[in-house]
Amino acid sequence: MSRVITVAAGQLGPISRDEPRESVVERLISLLRQAAGAGCQLVVFPELALTTFFPRWYMEEQDEIDTWFETEMPGPATRPLFDEARALGIGFCLGYAELTRDGHHYNTQVLVAGDGSIVAKYRKVHIPGHETHEPWRPFQHLERYYFEPGPEGFGVWRAFGAIVGMMICNDRRWPETYRVMGLLGAEMIVGGYNTPIHFAPDPSQDVLQGFHSSLVMQAGAYQNGAWVVATAKGGVEEGVDSLAQSAIIAPSGQIVAQAYTAGDELVTARCDLAWCDRYKKTLFEFDRYRMVEHYEPITRKGGVTPLP
Ligand code: CDT
């Protein structure tokens, strides 16, 4: 029996610092409606999709910091998105900054079913950037100041007739992200990103941002026999240019659909889950070919073990 999910990457263009959540939610609802019209079952929205990418600024006052976080999901501003999704019978994946009741701050994503119920919550594992204010940079990337890593790690969930995993932005650069979910049987891995084009620690990478983003996701899809759907918040936001190029990637590693603008744009593809097994049950048959006895250094804490 064929199992097909028609999926969309619901890319956003820039969100200005003073754009209210309600206005962003209207933009998300517009994308949701387009997706429903295109026969999609699932729309993947960007990381931190409700506001501008606030970690580019250093803030000291906790009260000010907490204004960027959601204390409930859905909350008053996001409930219309959940209501519209339920009315349309379409699911979505949404990234936002989460402040828990006991005071933890996470970079979070929820997977929401077509009936509006939350299937799963994922908290970003790989937190990039820096811990303290670094005034030499043209803009900050203070995710390590604002967010704790998700304590739960990676997971997969049965949803949309598939086994779905989640990742968020920098997670996509790490092979372990895909492999852990691959080992849990992931057939589709979804997530959002905010990737500034300028990388202050090594600007030679600026022109390679699009290449690197595609490189890691295509490899992750292929090596684990999974579809990958990754959605950007792109374009020039508060003076900082970010990568667009939202993409839907097949288990073959091929990009089957990609955004061609840096604005609000819907990218869709018909994803046949049967294609996963062409890779999972041949070249990447884990049970048969993985050589775990040689992989122990990968789970050891820390970095490189230098030669004596
Ligand atoms: N949001 C996010 O994770 N962005 C990172 C930028 C890394 S440079 C500090 C990314 O990997 O795209």
- pLDDT tens per residue across span 60-88: 999 999 999 999 999 999 999 999 999 99
Amino acid occupying residue 289: Y
pLDDT confidence of residue 55: 99
pLDDT tens figures, 89-117: 999 999 999 999 999 999 999 999 999 99
The finding on whether 280 has its CB within 6 A of some atom of ligand 1 is no
Give the residue among 144, 143, 166, 169 at the shortest CA–CA distance from 153: 166
CA of 129 to the centre of ligand 1 (A): 7
Q: Is 105 in the pocket of ligand 1 (CB under 6 A)?
A: no
How far is CA 104 from each of CA 83, 123, 191, 237, 305, rounded to the nearest angstrom?
Answer: 27, 11, 21, 27, 33
- Decide: helix, strand or coil at residue 298: helix
Average pLDDT over the chain reads 98
Question: How many whole angstroms from 161 Cα to the centroid of ligand 1?
Answer: 31
**289 CA distance to ligand 1 middle (Å):** 33
The total of other beta-carbon atoms located within 10 Å of residue 29's CB is 16
Task: List the one residue out of 242, 241, 247, 271 whose CA is nearest residue 260.
Answer: 247
Pocket flag, ligand 1, residue 191 (CB < 6 Å): no
Q: Best of 123, 146, 170 to mutate for ligand 1, by most ligand atoms within 8 A of CB?
A: 170
- Cα(137)–Cα(28) distance, rounded to whole angstroms? 32
pLDDT at 1 over 80: no
Contacts of 16 (CB under 8 A, 6+ apart): 52, 237, 238
193 CB near ligand 1 (under 6 Å):
yes
Q: How far apart are CA 216 and CA 177, in angstroms?
A: 11
8 Å CB contact between 197 and 242:
yes
Model pLDDT for residues 259-307, shown as the tens digit of each residue = 999 999 999 999 999 999 999 999 999 999 999 999 999 988 778 988 8
The pTM assigned to this predicted structure is 0.98
* Residue 233 DSSP symbol: B
Neighbours of 276 (CB within 10 A): 26
Question: How far is Cα 266 from Cα 37, in angstroms, rounded to an integer?
Answer: 11
